């Protein structure tokens, strides 16, 4: 079910972003950005605050309609899909491009297990046949529900969350909520998993665990990952490939080594850091769907 990418496609392009531009009134959040995301690998996206990283995710997952440009996904079963033409729920359901949010968005009053089962809504809803099979608890539906629970339990076990399954998600610590959000996204069965700053607010040990998890998802299960992250210990260690964005433009691209030594990147990052030290009021607020 999860091995949607066989190893021989590992070098092929899964997602191709071409000349993407996103304007909000006068503000150009993404400016003619082109980027290729290879299948079966981890692609890091870095850039200073307000660079347009979250906006890129919002365009990718149908929350924003790009002003111009195209987003082509080479889906392993459905062939080429144009993400910019799909509404957000179809991006997740049909294109299987699934995201997490910079500000965690769980279903807080529901339990962890329920969160993971809601993520399998479409499969279950089909099995419940307009709720008729569900209302009468017909065998087909019962089987589907059992499988959904098993699947959720498998992910909970892999992410070592099993003991928290029946707790309300909103009452758990921040680091754990981040992990739950990833587990929930995995229950949608992603072809491309987009993580928006998954290490934000994690302690060093949790960050190290996140590294191991990302490598496992990509190397063992073949899920391609697009990763926005500020924590360099995460991005530099797990990414196969990194794109750097500043003011909505791609300023560099390459392996972690190449990116680390790129003068443009150093300027964008260190320059911004220096400025930040003097004038910390510059930070830009995060996007609406962030």
Partner 1 sequence: MSTVVFARHAMTPAERLRDAGWVAFVGLILGIPLVGLTTVDVGGRLAVGTRFGLLAAAVATVFAGRLLLHWALDQARNRKLARARASTATAADRAHGAQKAVMLLGWVALGASVALPIFYSDNRYVVDTATTVLIYVMLGWGLNVVVGLAGLLDLGYVAFYAVGAYSYALLSTQLGWSFWEALPVSGALAAGFGILLGYPILRLRGDYLAIVTLGFGEIIRVILVNWTEFSGGPNGISSIPRPSFFGLEFARSAPEGGQTFAGFFGLDFSPMHRLIFLYYLILVLALLTHAFVSRLRKLPVGRAWEALREDEIACRAMGMNTTNIKLSAFAIGAMLGGFAGVFFAARQGFISPESFTFTESAIILAIVVLGGMGSQMGVVLAATLLVLIPEFGRNFAEYRMLLFGAAMVLIMVWKPGGLLSHREPTVRLNPLGKPAAAKEAA
Residues in the site for ligand ADP, rule: CB under 6 A?
Answer: 24, 27, 29, 47, 49-55, 284-288, 290
Q: Is 204 among the residues that bind partner 1 (CB under 8 A)?
A: no
Q: How far apart, in whole angstroms, are the C-alpha atoms of residue 196 and residue 100?
A: 6
Kindly tell me which of 47 and 62 has the beta carbon lying closer to ligand ADP. Answer: 47
Backbone angles phi, psi at 51, to 5 degrees: -75, -20
Q: How far apart, in whole angstroms, are the C-alpha atoms of residue 227 and residue 290?
A: 14
Using the CB atoms, write b or e for 254-263: b if 16+ within 10 Å: eebeebeebe
Angstrom CA distances, 107 to 110, 218, 243, 273, stand at: 6, 26, 32, 35
- 47's contact among ligand ADP, Mg ion, partner 1, none, with CB below 5 to 8 A by partner kind, is ligand ADP
Q: How far apart, in whole angstroms, are the C-alpha atoms of residue 46 and residue 253?
A: 10
Q: Are 290 and 196 in contact (CB under 8 A)?
A: yes
In the complex, least distance from residue 55 CB atom to Mg ion, rounded to whole angstroms: 8
Which segment (7-15, 47-55, 65-73, 167-175) binds Mg ion by CB under 5 A? 47-55
Angstrom CA distances, 220 to 10, 40, 86, 217, 249, stand at: 12, 10, 29, 6, 33
Q: Is 117 among the residues that bind partner 1 (CB under 8 A)?
A: yes
In the complex, least distance from residue 246 CB atom to ligand ADP, rounded to whole angstroms: 9
Smallest CA-to-CA distance from 102 within 158, 141, 45 is with: 45
Q: Is 131 among the residues that bind partner 1 (CB under 8 A)?
A: yes
Kindly tell me which of 174 and 274 has the beta carbon lying closer to partner 1. Answer: 174
Q: Is 64 among the residues that bind partner 1 (CB under 8 A)?
A: no
Q: Give the interface with partner 1 as residue ranges (CB under 8 A).
A: 61-63, 87-94, 98-99, 101, 105-111, 113-114, 117-119, 121-122, 124-125, 128, 131, 134-135, 145, 149, 152-153, 156, 162-163, 165-168, 184-185, 188, 289
Binding site for Mg ion (CB under 5 A): 54, 102
């Amino acid at each position: 079910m999860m091995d949607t990418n066989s190893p021989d496609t590992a070098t092929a392009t899964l997602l191709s972003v071409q000349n993407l531009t996103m304007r909000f009134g006068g503000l150009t959040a993404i400016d003619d950005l082109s980027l290729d995301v290879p299948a079966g690998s981890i692609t890091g996206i870095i850039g200073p605050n307000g660079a347009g990283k979250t906006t890129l995710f919002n365009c990718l997952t149908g929350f924003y309609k790009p002003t111009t440009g195209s987003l082509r996904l080479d889906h392993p079963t459905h062939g080429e899909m144009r993400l910019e033409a799909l509404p957000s729920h179809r991006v997740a359901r049909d294109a299987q491009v699934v995201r997490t949010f910079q500000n965690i968005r769980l279903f807080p009053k529901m339990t962890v297990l329920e969160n993971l089962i809601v993520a399998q809504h479409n499969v279950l809803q089909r099995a419940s046949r307009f709720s008729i099979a569900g209302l009468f608890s017909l065998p087909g539906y019962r089987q589907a529900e059992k499988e959904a629970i098993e699947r959720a339990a498998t992910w909970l076990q892999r992410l070592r969350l099993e003991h928290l399954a029946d707790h309300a998600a909103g009452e758990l610590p921040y680091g754990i909520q981040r992990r739950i959000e990833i587990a929930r996204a995995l229950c949608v069965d992603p072809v491309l998993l987009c993580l928006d700053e998954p290490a934000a607010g994690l302690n060093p040990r949790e960050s190290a665990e996140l590294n191991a998890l990302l490598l496992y998802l990509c190397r063992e299960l073949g899920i391609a990952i697009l990763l926005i992250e500020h924590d360099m210990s995460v991005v530099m260690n797990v990414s196969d490939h990194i794109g750097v964005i500043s003011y909505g433009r791609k300023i560099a691209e390459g392996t972690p080594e190449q990116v680390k030594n790129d003068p443009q990147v150093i300027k964008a990052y260190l320059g911004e850091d220096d400025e930040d030290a003097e004038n910390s009021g510059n930070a830009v607020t995060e996007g609406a769907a962030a």
